[in-house]
Amino acid sequence: MTTLPYADHAGSLRRVFVRDMVVGTSIGVYDHEKGRPQRVRINLDLAVLEGEGVLNDDIATVLSYEDLVTGTREICQDGHVNLVETLGEKLADMCLADRRVRKVNVRVEKLDVFDDVAAVGVEIERFNIAR
Q: Which domains does the chain have, with CATH numbers?
A: 13-127 (3.30.1130.10)
Classify residue 60 as exposed, middle or buried by CB count within 10 Å of its CB (0-12, 13-18, 19+): exposed
Assign residue 119 a region: left if phi > 0, alpha if psi is -120 to 50, beta otherwise?
beta
CB 78 within 8 A of CB 93: no
pLDDT at 1 over 50: no
Is 18 within 8 Å of 68 (Cβ atoms)?
yes
Res. 8: pLDDT tops 60: no
The per-residue pLDDT for range 102-131, each reduced to its tens digit, is 999 999 999 999 999 999 999 999 999 755
How do residues 42-72 score in pLDDT, each as one tens digit?
Answer: 999 999 987 766 667 777 778 999 999 999 9
**What's the mean pLDDT when you consider all of the chain?**
90
Enter the DSSP assignment of 72. H
**10-19, 30-39, 46-55: the lowest-pLDDT one:** 46-55
Helices 65-76, 84-96: inter-axial angle, 10-degree rounding: 140
Spatial separation of the C-alpha atoms in residues 63 and 60, rounded to whole Å: 8
